């Protein structure tokens, strides 16, 4: 099971961190931008190439200390075909360095459309009888709002190709409670708890030797009380935890996402690592040329922070 590989990597590195590769042009050092635009002009191809070169430097700096990366597709998709090519190349490069890749795509649509998304990102596409892998992520994020039939195609490809998904359950954004915290039915259960039960049930056939399922849940660090409820409700579900750092989540808040042995979740940090060289705590030591070294330092600092509260 892919979840066992992810947990093994977390255990080997003593680090339950995933770095979000969510670049913006103002995060990319000028020397990388200038070189990319000199080759491609002020075009989407130039922006996409700048992102890819930026990502390569980051991956080279963290691959031996961080188990996984999570590229956010929107940052690449905005630049069209060139951006999606950079997204695909980033995934391939991270995997070549032994990293687990979580594609943050948050897809959610009717079954026939979900099947196309699933085949492209997790499975294979059929081209005149030949099967081709396109994106190649190990996991992707999925929005379940349209119901079970919109999730089933992803479950099928997880089974057929040994992949995994993280389903949005209780997200870290400020407005998540508008819908997710609504109470439904006579038993007082919220929407997020109901979705959590679905995720738990979907994952029963995907539990690995680690005791966790490859069908995971996105649970935000910014809502520790809800996360604690979900951890008790979903003992075999692995959590992808956004919200640490810039969104206000602290190590003390997200400890409830883990079991007593320090297993059970992986914590995302995006700008706090990839743009660390711009932060006040790092910019005196690292200039633009040292952006990757600053990212490594920030990743190690995050690891140490998590280990204050989690026996990882």
Half-sphere exposure of 226 (CA within 13 A, CB side): 26
Q: Where are the beta strands (DSSP E) in 31-73?
A: 68-71
Q: Is 264 left (phi over 0), alpha (psi -120 to 50) or beta?
A: left
- 266/57 Cα distance (integer angstroms): 22
In the structure encoding, which two tokens stand for residue 171, read together?
């997200």
Whether 106 is catalytic is: yes
Residues whose CB is less than 8 angstroms from the CB of residue 45 and which lie 6 or more positions away in sequence, other chains included: 79, 82
Residues whose CB is less than 8 angstroms from the CB of residue 38 and which lie 6 or more positions away in sequence, other chains included: none
| Contact call for residues 76 and 84 (beta carbons, < 8 A) | yes
Q: What is the CA angle 86-88-94, rounded to 5? A: 95
Q: Which of 95, 106, 156, 278 is catalytic?
A: 106
In the structure encoding, which two tokens stand for residue 67, read together?
């188990």
The single residue listed with the structure tokens 């130039």 is 46
| Contact call for residues 73 and 103 (beta carbons, < 8 A) | yes
Q: What is the CA angle 36-292-70, rounded to 5? A: 85
Which residues on adjacent β-strands are paired with residue 207? Answer: 213
Half-sphere exposure of 298 (CA within 13 A, CB side): 31
In the structure encoding, which two tokens stand for residue 305, read together?
């922070």
167 phi and psi angles, rounded to 5 deg: -95, 135
Which residues carry out catalysis? 106
């Amino acid at each position: 099971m892919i979840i066992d590989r992810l947990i093994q990597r977390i255990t080997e590195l003593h680090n339950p961190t995933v770095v979000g590769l969510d670049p913006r042009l103002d995060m990319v050092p000028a020397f990388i931008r200038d070189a990319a635009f000199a080759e491609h002009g002020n075009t989407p191809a130039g922006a996409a190439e700048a992102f890819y070169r930026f990502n390569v430097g980051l991956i080279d700096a963290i691959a031996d200390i961080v188990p996984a990366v999570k590229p956010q597709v929107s940052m690449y998709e905005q630049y069209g075909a060139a951006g999606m090519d950079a997204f695909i190349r980033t995934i391939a490069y991270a995997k070549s360095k032994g990293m687990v890749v979580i594609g943050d795509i948050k897809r959610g649509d009717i079954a026939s459309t979900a099947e196309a998304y699933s085949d492209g990102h997790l499975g294979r596409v059929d081209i005149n009888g030949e099967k081709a892998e396109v994106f190649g992520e190990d996991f992707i994020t999925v929005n379940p709002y349209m119901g079970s039939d919109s999730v089933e195609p992803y479950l099928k490809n997880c089974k057929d190709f040994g992949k995994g998904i993280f389903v949005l359950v209780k997200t870290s954004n400020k407005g998540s409670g508008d819908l997710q915290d609504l109470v439904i039915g006579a038993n007082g259960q919220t929407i997020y708890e109901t979705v959590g039960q679905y995720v738990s049930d979907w994952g029963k056939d995907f539990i690995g030797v680690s005791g966790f399922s490859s069908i995971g849940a996105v649970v935000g660090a910014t809502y520790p009380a809800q996360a604690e409820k979900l951890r008790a409700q979903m003992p075999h579900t692995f959590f992808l935890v956004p919200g640490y750092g810039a969104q206000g989540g602290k190590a003390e808040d997200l400890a409830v996402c883990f079991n007593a042995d320090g297993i059970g979740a992986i914590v995302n940090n995006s700008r706090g690592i990839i743009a660390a060289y711009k932060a006040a705590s790092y910019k005196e030591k690292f200039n633009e040329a040292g952006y990757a070294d600053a990212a490594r330092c920030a990743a190690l600092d995050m690891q140490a922070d998590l280990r204050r509260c989690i026996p990882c």
